[in-house]
A and B are shown apart, each in its own frame.
Chain A
Amino acid sequence: MAEPSIETTSMEGLTQHRFIDPRTLMSIKHLELRAKVVVEGFWNGLHRSPYHGFSVEFTEYRQYTPGDDPRYLDWKLYARSDRYYIKKFEDETNLRCFLLMDRSKSMEFGSKGFTKQDYANTLAATLGYFLSRQGDAVGLMSFDEVIQEYMPARNRPGHLRQLMQTLEKPCQGESTDIKKPIKRIMDLIKSRGLIVLISDFLTPLDELEDNLATLTAYGHEVQVFHILDPAERHFTFEEAIQFEDQETGQLMYVDPATAKKDYMEQMENHLEKLKNACDKSGIGYTLLTTDQPLEKGLFDFLKARIHRGRVVQRKTHAG
């Protein structure tokens, strides 16, 4: 896998003003263009040799056991140490990345002039564009309570555009059910791959932990993007008014003056629970509020991948 080296670059290294304000970004209608703007900007930010490295990367040595392909014996090491070692490399095949998009009604909420869905779409498009630019295959699965769209992971001309068009379809779902798409993706994706789950996770988290663990157990690499609106995150309302649940249509009179405390507590719990679940399963978790620059998502994504690549893979494949 071709991966840019960003170890020497930190978030602090990228000055804040170089990011594009999401609101400005969302005013660009064309999703592909939006993705391009983010990715190109990001490349520019990573001016420290983004194309540096190998396509085939050495990872570890392993003692030769009979039956191993003698082609991978490290003869130089044998000369030095008089022992047979097998040189182990990362899989050379391209990364197969699946974007799991939550398209439930709750994603239609937005207090900043655009919805979480817009933000999520842009994020997905950015990732898709970024990955396909590196030559990786990108697939898409959108879901609400059922799976709506499925595009297998491919990397061929026109695929990215199709992906963008699918992303741009308006969401029709009602509520969120993450279990079903996770189950389904395990059926569909036999080979290991990267699964990026983009959702607001405004759903009970009871079995989510198990499902996520299953995914990682299958060898998939999983990255979770938790998208929240600032208004959801900090409950910035003041006026007492009837609140209507976007998914169920249920009405509730809420006075923010009294309800905010409770809300914030529960929200923190929810976030905590989700983060724990991800951590336990070795899943990368990024919380993004829609007022944060998209580059941060991309940055976190890459950072987490490198980090996890070292920690988790070594954990699972060592040996």
Chain B
Amino acid sequence: MSFLYPLFLLGAAAIAGPILFHLIRRVTREKRSFSTLMFLKASPPKLTRKSRIEHWFLLLLRCLVFLLLALAFSRPYLSNEQTIQLESDERVRHCLLIDKSASMRRDGLWEESLSKAEKWLTQWKQEAYASVYLFDESIHQVVSFDDWSGLNPDIRTSEILNRIKAQPPSWKATSIDDALLESLNRMEEGAREEEKESKQQAWELVVISDLQVGSRYEGLRGQDWPKHAYVVFDGTEPRNSSNAGLQALQSDWQIAEDESFIAPRVRVSNAQDSDQEQFELQWKTEDSSFETNESLPTYVTPGQTKIMTAPKWPEDKSVNQLVLTGDSETFDNTIWLAPFKPRTSRIVLLAPKGQKQDSELEYYIERAFQSVPEHRVELIQSQTEAWKPLAALKGIDLWIVTRPLNDSVAEGLREHVKKGGIILMPLTSVTMQNTLQVIWEDPALVIEEAAVTDYSLIGKIDFQHPLFAPFADPRFSNFSKIHFWKHRRILNLDLSQEELQIAAYLDNDEPAIITRSQGLGRIILISSSWTPKDSQLALSTKFVPWLYTALNWGRNYQELRTQYSIGEAVDLSSIPTEDKLAIRNPNGEVEKKSADKLYRNTNLPGIYEIEADNDFRWTFAVNLHPDESRTSVLPLETLESLGVPTRDPENAAEETPESREQRAEDSRLLQSQEIEQNQKYWRWMLLAVLALVLVESLVASRASPKQFA
């Protein structure tokens, strides 16, 4: 039996109390009325002889109560052999995590990190278990636990330092959460190989980092930390706390109608503890050969951000850097910008000839798909009756069929759809029946005019359907005001087909919009049309957004962008080539990649170029992650509030034999506390005390009601 707080045992001396009180004849304030005192003499209170102790059982109970209370407060526990053995065999596993994110490029931070790393490594010279990792967005192993034990302790520190020096700070963002959790996982994996003593080990994670606010730490939320693990944050102090950053806003450009003015919109941020406020924006070339005298002054107070339009992009397209001047920390002051490329969409409209304006389908399509500087829409109207010229058209995003097609065109279109095209087909009249039969590959289909008294409304919409998913929000989901004057019924339609979906029904339970996957492509069938004679669809505010939803539905890939962050994957699958691509990074290195893959090596800021054999060229810029510019120091309390068990580096560092002993003592205490926490004998003792008090009360009240009541 051991005690966590043996001093409390002194409280057991309190049992002297009841013994003494039992010995002293009670001088109470109680009175007994008596007829006369004339025959009585006052007796002095006195100790009775030992043999005169009355109520032995009560005395025993009372002494036991005090004894148990003292025992309970001293928190007893039974230390078994295992724990004793482990106490002598106590081990600490160390893990050193060094931040090498872009923010560590700041003046002097990396050098400081190295010296701190050296200090820790020297301190752990005699330790058997340690590992070293570098981290930015992900964790990079320098020395694993196995490597550590494999290295000669005499040269270990210098060897590890050399390995660290070989991996200078990257341009990536900081993920403290990933780093901590991953290193914790690796520690756990390492520990599992050991015997079950892992529970008694101490895991020390030392993080050398600038601990910037922009670090990602949300992943630590809800993490269940092992009791024996703790984190020591050994923060590096930047020589200069000022920092301003410049970031490009994703595809947000200011463009004049005639493209006489093109400029990106950018965000300038200034750190909380910055002492600079005045900055300037200026365009530069890569080799700084071009430098306009034009610069845009701006004023950002510390802790604030400002979104502004950059100066006009110079005519010279080789100018691809926008630089923020006036900031002492330059690592995040440059953004690279690829030349602006508007998005393009090609739509083919197969409409009948010579329609009257204002009443027909094409009129509304032309107005719905208007080109804007950011999005160029090419609307190709074709009255051709042959498939060949149509087949020559490349990169068509949407086919709109509003007239009956002859079989060759219909068949060509059908096969094209199977390869990934999208057809939007309003059933303008029953004459579309033949075309539908061919495209749908079902000769049994019959279209007939539905009998409608007055009008129909849309009755039910499947908002899970991709065509309506953007409208699922109750603010946009009201389609009930659109009247359908006329519509057509499709007979013999096999609704049980798996690839067939009914996106919307009319209120008479007939399908309004039917979609069907056909090969890689899709067909969208509307049982009416958007002309005013058929319905009010074109007049609805939903019409244009819905058309764009249909246009985008076909694109099941992410489009290439001109802006990426460091480390972000570039989806190459939208590139219209089946050959290998060549990607040139800012250093001029070329990497071959197949088109359906993701390109992940966006490790450097700068301009990347993609080239395909079919003259396809795409330029994109990769810039620092915006969070890396937020360099104010993250308060440790934030991490502690997420449950990270932190420890002061001062206490953990510089371990002398005395402090080692102290630590061993502490850990013994910790261990004892843990054992005691598990056993919790004090609870039972308190329960026993309560029971004893109860018995004591009962016995006392029975023994002599007058004396003890």
Contacts and interface: CB of A to CB of B under 8 A. Distances in A.
A246 B38 contact: no
A244 B30 CA distance: 10
B37 A252 contact: yes
Given A245-B37, A250-B37, A240 B32 contact: no
B41 A106 contact: no
A50 B59 CA distance: 64
A258 B37 CA distance: 15
B34 A239 contact: no
Interface in B276-321: none
Nearest to A255: B43
Interface stretch (B20-28, B76-84, B429-437): B20-28
B41 A241 contact: no
B45 interface: yes
Given A239-B707, A240-B25, A254 B40 contact: yes
B43 A240 contact: yes
A75 interface: no
A202 interface: yes
A106 B35 contact: yes
Interface string A90-132: 0000000000000001111100000010000000000000000
Contacts of A109: 33-35
Contacts of A259: 40-41, 43
B29 A242 contact: yes
B706 interface: yes
A243 B39 contact: no
Interface residues on B, range: 20 to 34
Interface string A224-239: 0000010010000101
Instruction: State the majority secondary structure of interface residues on A.
Output: mixed
A244 B40 CA distance: 11
Given A239-B706, A255-B25, A262 B39 contact: yes
A10 interface: no
Interface in B682-708: 704, 706-707
Given A239-B706, A240-B43, A253 B27 contact: yes
Given A202-B38, A252-B37, A243 B32 contact: yes
Nearest to B39: A266
Contacts of A270: 39
A244 B39 contact: no
Contacts of B33: 109, 243-244, 246
A109 B97 CA distance: 91
A245 B34 contact: yes
A1 interface: no
Contacts of A57: none
A247 B29 contact: no
A28 interface: no
B36 interface: yes
B367 interface: no
Contacts of A251: 31
Interface residues on A, range: 35 or more
A312 B188 CA distance: 118
A232 B32 CA distance: 13
A235 B6 CA distance: 52
A263 B35 CA distance: 13
Contact of A241 (B30, B37, B44): B30
A229 B39 contact: no
Contacts of B706: 239
B38 A242 contact: no
A246 B34 contact: yes
Interface centre among B26, B27, B43, B704 (most CB of A within 10 A): B43
A227 to B, nearest CB: 11
Given A253-B42, A253-B43, A254-B43, A242 B37 contact: no
Nearest to A250: B37
A68 B190 CA distance: 144
A135 B44 CA distance: 57
A109 B40 CA distance: 16
B477 to A, nearest CB: 90
B31 A241 contact: yes
Contacts of A262: 39-41
Interface in B370-389: none
B32 A242 contact: yes
Interface centre among A239, A246, A247, A248 (most CB of B within 10 A): A239
A245 B32 CA distance: 9
Contact of B39 (A105, A108, A248, A263): A263
A226 B39 CA distance: 17
Given A202-B35, A202-B36, A242 B41 contact: no
A267 interface: yes
A102 B37 CA distance: 18
B42 A200 contact: no
Given A202-B38, A244-B32, A250-B37, 9 more contacts: A105-B35, A109-B33, A241-B32, A242-B32, A243-B33, A244-B31, A244-B33, A263-B39, A263-B40
14 contacts: A107-B35, A241-B32, A242-B30, A243-B32, A244-B33, A245-B34, A253-B45, A254-B40, A254-B41, A254-B43, A255-B25, A262-B40, A262-B41, A266-B39
Interface of A: 105-109, 116, 200, 202, 204, 229, 232, 237, 239-248, 250-255, 258-259, 262-263, 266-267, 270
